[in-house]
Amino acid sequence: DVKVTQSSRYLVKRTGEKVFLECVQDMDHENMFWYRQDPGLGLRLIYFSYDVKMKEKGDIPEGYSVSREKKERFSLILESASTNQTSMYLCASLWAGGAHEQYFGPGTRLTVT
Amino acid sequence: KQEVTQIPAALSVPEGENLVLNCSFTDSAIYNLQWFRQDPGKGLTSLLLIQSSQREQTSGRLNASLDKSSGRSTLYIAASQPGDSATYLCAVRNSGGSNYKLTFGKGTLLTVNP
């Protein structure tokens, strides 16, 4: 079974802090994704990566950056956290061959105060 | 731009009932369609994936159908149980170009009452 893990289930940070959200997958998938999920807005893609050190902006990249130094790990960085970044953050991975089935991690509930 | 709509937004049924969740999409040029389940405060669990060339997929009490030409998919749940209570999300992957992105509907919140 594919396993996608996220470093924290719950996180509370203060406005202006630099925040790192970590995601690890164990299936050698090329593609990894970061989404945020908000009530009434659904899931929105922040960034994705199709290979090590490669990244593309999603629909809402402002205020975020990402890092992919190793194939299994994809990090989301909030350079200076703001209250409007309070959200559920979901990481996902995808194998580019075959069925293109996407697998999600358990999510990180981030609260910025 | 692909748009995905799920109707109804919420559904409440008694235990044992068969039910259908609906998903529609605006651009029929899709690579595949995936149904997910999400429990409160948790991540998404993949339930079924249908390739664009397929008409349906089945897993246990779940059956998903796809009518690409009309831009519609349904998720049929047989003999519903309280443990089926969750939000069900439909997501579409477009064909061509950068087909890594999924476009999600906003989900149907299902409550199965004992």
pLDDT value of position A48: 93
For an interface test with B, which of A104, A108, A110, A111 has the most B Cβ atoms less than 10 Å from its Cβ? A104
Question: Considering only CA atoms, which of A92, A91, A109, A108 is closest in space to residue A100?
Answer: A92
Contacts of residue B43 in chain A, CB cutoff 8 Å?
A: 4, 90, 104-107
Q: What is the mean pLDDT of residues A59-76?
A: 96
CB contact under 8 A, B41 and A107: yes
Which of B52, B100, B102 to substitute to test the interface with A, most A CBs within 10 Å? B100
- Per CB-CB distance under 8 Å, the chain A contacts of B101 are 45, 48, 58
Can you state the percent helix, strand and coil of chain A, rounding each to 5?
Answer: 5, 60, 40
Are B68 and B30 within 8 A, CB to CB? Answer: yes
Candidate from B51, B102, B107 with C-beta closest to A102: B102
Residue A90 has pLDDT above 90, yes or no: yes
- Per the model's pLDDT, the better-predicted residue between A65 and A98 turns out to be A65
pLDDT digits (tens, 9 = 90+) for B33-85: 999 999 998 999 999 999 999 999 999 999 999 999 999 999 999 999 999 99
Res A100: pLDDT? 76
Give pLDDT, residue A96.
74
Whole-number mean pLDDT of chain B? Answer: 94
Over the Cα atoms of chain A, what is R_g? 13
Closest partner residue to B42 (CB to CB) among A45, A101, A107 is A107
Q: What is the pLDDT of residue A85?
A: 98
Residue pLDDT, tens place only, B11-29: 999 999 999 999 999 999 9
